[in-house]
Amino acid sequence: QGRFTLLRDTRTDGSFLVHHFLSFYLRAGCKVCFLALLQSFSHYNIVAQKLGVSLAAAKERGQLVFLEGLKSCLDLVFGEEEQQGQPSPLQFLSGSTSDLRALFDFVRVSLTPSDGDSWKGPVLLVDDLSVLLSLGAAPVAVLDFIHYCRVSVCYQLKGNIVVLVHSNEDSEDEENELIVNSLCHHSDLILWAEGLATGFCKDVHGQIKIIKRLSLRQAAEQDLVQIYQYKIQDRNVTFFARGLSAAVL
């Protein structure tokens, strides 16, 4: 409880981690607010069904609150949400405001427990945070949004936050790298998926660096770092130590 997990990917697609956490928390009986800024609901639902979870059923029973970023952007551009009298969580796109207060209010209202709720704990899942920068949000506004979400979800509601960001160490996108570096400093756990430096391999799709931020809790402690390689299969992911893949053995 109260943990902030950062999913970071470099030279590869780390979305398999998002699908894992989404299905994991739904099966655990947690209330989940999913800010899906990258793909459509049908995409996530198809992958979740392979993992044995129905997002449509989770929405119907009130366990999953799903913000479909692509649809919300179109509705905002064409004014459909204003006609329905519903303010958009992505109001900053209209230029009327530069902060992400509406998006935070959406998260806070979605995860604040009501009298009849029996869910185990609130979870905020974001895929992916880099999209907000691409849509025109300022880095300071994005960091403020994450800060207030941590205060509300992690500290007040004793829940968890999982955020995916893309990064490229050779990138000239200074704003995105600022976001990534800042989040790394404040994360309790970092799962960093990286593509292989040697290029494509059918038996090894990448490596994942697991960084447990022990120094965040105790100043004298050193962070615990573990590195594994992985292969993504149709319904699961296989992890193994470096040099122990089928290609080598």
The secondary structure of 100-166 as a DSSP string is -HHHHHHHHHHHS--TT---S-EEEEEE-THHHHHTT--HHHHHHHHHHHIIIIIIIS--EEEEEEE
Q: Calculate mean pLDDT across residues 133-152.
A: 94
Fold of 3-78+86-193: Rossmann fold (3.40.50)
Which SS3 state, helix, strand or coil, does residue 57 take? helix
Q: Calculate mean pLDDT across residues 30-40.
A: 95
Q: Is a pLDDT exceeding 80 seen at residue 179?
A: yes
Would you say 165 and 178 are in contact if contact means Cβ atoms under 8 Å apart?
A: no
Buried b (16+ CB within 10 A) or exposed e, 59-73: eeeebbbbbbbeebb
Q: Is a pLDDT exceeding 60 seen at residue 85?
A: no
Instruction: Tell me how far the alpha carbon of residue 242 is from its chain's centroid.
Output: 26
228/243 Cα distance (integer angstroms): 9
Which SS3 state, helix, strand or coil, does residue 59 take? helix
Question: What is the average pLDDT score of the chain?
Answer: 89
Classify 209 in phi/psi space as left (phi over 0), alpha (psi -120 to 50) or beta. beta
Q: Is a pLDDT exceeding 90 seen at residue 146?
A: yes
Token digits of residue 184: 């790394």
Instruction: Tell me how far the alpha carbon of residue 210 is from its chain's centroid.
Output: 16
C-alpha neighbours within 13 Å on the C-beta side of residue 145: 28
pLDDT digits (tens, 9 = 90+) for 107-135: 999 999 887 778 889 999 999 899 999 88
More confident: 14 or 74: 14
pTM score? 0.91
Would you say 185 and 204 are in contact if contact means Cβ atoms under 8 Å apart?
A: no
Nearest CA-CA partner of 124 in 43, 64, 196, 59: 64
Q: Is a pLDDT exceeding 80 seen at residue 217?
A: no
